Every structure is written in C-alpha cells, then in structure tokens.
Amino acid sequence: MDDPNTLADTQFLLCFNVYSLHRSFGRFYQSAFSETGLTYPKVLILMALERHGPLSISALSSRIGVEPHTVSPIVKKLAGFGAITRERSEVDERRVELAITAKGQEVLDRARTVIEEGFAALGLEPDRMMEAMRFLDQAREAVEKADPPKLSFEGLE
C-alpha cells in the first residue's frame, strides 16, 4: 500500500502488516502440516498443556487468549486423536480437565522440529525481532483497551 501520511494511516498500515504476516504464518504452517490434521492453534494448545497442564478449558483459553468456545471443539479433536485427555472434573463438574498424552508429546516434539527447520533460514535480526515483539505486545494491550465508537447505518446484509 501507499506510504502513510498521518498517524491514523500509520496505525492502519500496522494493522495491515499484522494481517499480512498472520496469513503468511498461516500458510507456512498449512504447508508444513498439510499431510496431518495439525494446525497452528492445535500446536499452541499442545504447547500450553505441555508447560502448564493439566488445565481447564477456561484456563487454557485464557493462556492462549481466545474464547473458551473456540478452544472447545479443537480440544475435542485433539482428544479424538489421542493427543490429549479430556475429562470432566469430579471436584467441580462444570470443568473439563485437559492434559497432554505421550502421543501428544511426540506429535508436539516432531512439530517443533519441523517448525524450527522451517524458520532456520528466515534470517531475521534477533535484536530487531525482540524489539518488534515488545512493541507488538504493547500494541496488543493498547488495542484491547481501546473502545472504538460504533459505526451505525443500514447493515450490509
């Protein structure tokens, strides 16, 4: 897109760059995992359960930063494959407890290897990457706090 000339244009261009890079990562993972049913969100879930498991659905969704009902169907699939266990808690029957299995650990380890090999030649400068990450995290907090006015007219549907 064209060079921005106002702060608003710059912010909108940041948004577009994030959108573009997000989809590029998506295609990267799609290509790497195309012969399996694995996806990036599934890898995130396995990783969170590896490090912090066992977790409830709401705790897991908080860690990853998505809604619980986004996580619910995905963990059902991972459980169906045997990568995780998915059990209703006896202490609090509202909760479902999730834990990675040995098979899930193997899948995750192999996925990790593939991702690392794929990223090996990206050639991104570590210092700039760290600064970009700090900035992105601050941007996320700012965007989450933002309270935009509501556009209102006859809908597009």
Partner DNA sequence: CCCAAAAGCATCGTGTACGATATAATCGTG
Partner DNA sequence: CACGATTATATCGTACACGATGCTTTTGGG
Residues 7-36 that bind DNA (CB under 7 A): 19, 23, 26-27, 30-31, 34
Residue of the chain from 11, 13, 54, 72 that contacts DNA (CB under 7 A):
72
Checking DSSP bridges between strand 84-88 and strand 96-100, what pairing results, if any?
Answer: antiparallel
Q: What is the DSSP string of 67-84?
A: -HHHHHHHHHHHHHHTSE
Select 80 or 131, whichever has its Cβ closest to DNA. 80
Select 91 or 126, whichever has its Cβ closest to a second copy. 126
Residues in the interface with DNA (CB under 7 A) total 32
Locate 28 and state its tokens.
């990267």
109 binds, among a second copy, DNA, none (CB under 5 to 8 A by kind): none
DSSP structural state of residue 2: P
Identify which range of 63-71, 104-112, 117-125, 133-141 contacts DNA by CB under 7 A.
Answer: 63-71
Select 88 or 129, whichever has its Cβ closest to a second copy. 129
Q: How far apart are CA 150 and CA 123, in angstroms?
A: 42
50 binds, among a second copy, DNA, none (CB under 5 to 8 A by kind): none
Of 118, 142, 130, nearest to 14 (Cα)? 142
Q: Least distance in Å: CB of 48 to a second copy?
A: 8
Select 27 or 69, whichever has its Cβ closest to a second copy. 27
User: Which residues, at least 6 apart from 85, have a Cβ–Cβ distance to it below 8 Å?
Assistant: 79, 97, 98, 99, 101
